[in-house]
Each structure stands twice: as structure tokens, then as C-alpha cells.
Amino acid sequence: LAACEQPQQPQQSQQQPTSKPTMNIPVYEFNGISATARLEGTLLLKNGCLYLDEILPILPEGNFNWDDQQQVLTLYGNAYKVGQRAVFGGHPGNYQQDAGRIKQLSKQCKTEHIWFAG
């Protein structure tokens, strides 16, 4: 009478880590057009925010991956570990003027200098 038995829930879900990512990375809606300016600096993690030196990168939505455990950002196939040098194409932005087009922007990450990576 196997058909009358209650299906058992997999126990894997109880063993999976429940930790949240250490940060919320700000993003913008990428339209496929990108500026060709270049920003180079050290990838830093401060107050739960990802920076390139003192500049807050705003990443193109859907075009990057963040590995919280390894602290590695992959942007267009290029992997950057926190503490290493990174190079992002894109263009600078103005925090006050551009805040409306940025998603997932944490108040902890407020800065005068932002960079729309692309």
C-alpha cells in the first residue's frame, strides 16, 4: 500500500546553510550599451559594501555573479577577489542625480563617487 504513505520531505533542506550574503550589491538596468572609460583599483569590502578603492561600483543587472563564500566577483567572465586589483569598463555617475536608477542601493554604501560598470 505504498500509495497511501505520506511522502517524506528531503532532509537536505535542513542541512543547507541559512546564512545571508554579506552584502547587497547595487545594480542598474543594463541596456547593452556601455561606455569605454576604464576604472582600475583594489576591490574592497567595507561595511557590507563592495568598492573599487573609494568608488562604489554599480553593476549591470544580470551580468555578474558574487560568490559570498570565496568573496569573488565575476563580471563578464573576469573574476576579481576582494583585496585584488580589478579593472571595470563603464562610466562615472553622480550619486545624487543617479540614485533613482540604481536598484538595491543600501544606505550603508552611500558615497560621492559611483561607477556604472559595463
> In this predicted model, what pLDDT tens digit does every residue of 20-78 receive, in sequence order?
456 779 999 887 776 778 999 999 999 889 999 999 999 999 899 999 999 999 998 99
> Who's near 88: CB < 8 A, 6+ residues apart?
38, 39, 40, 52, 57, 75, 115, 117
Whether 17 has a pLDDT exceeding 90, the answer reads: no
Closest by Cα among 113, 118, 117, 116 to 53: 113
pLDDT on residue 20: 46
Torsion of the alpha carbons at 75, 80, 86 and 87, rounded to the nearest 10: -20
pLDDT on residue 44: 95
Most confident of 27-31, 61-65, 98-102, 108-112: 61-65
pLDDT on residue 2: 44
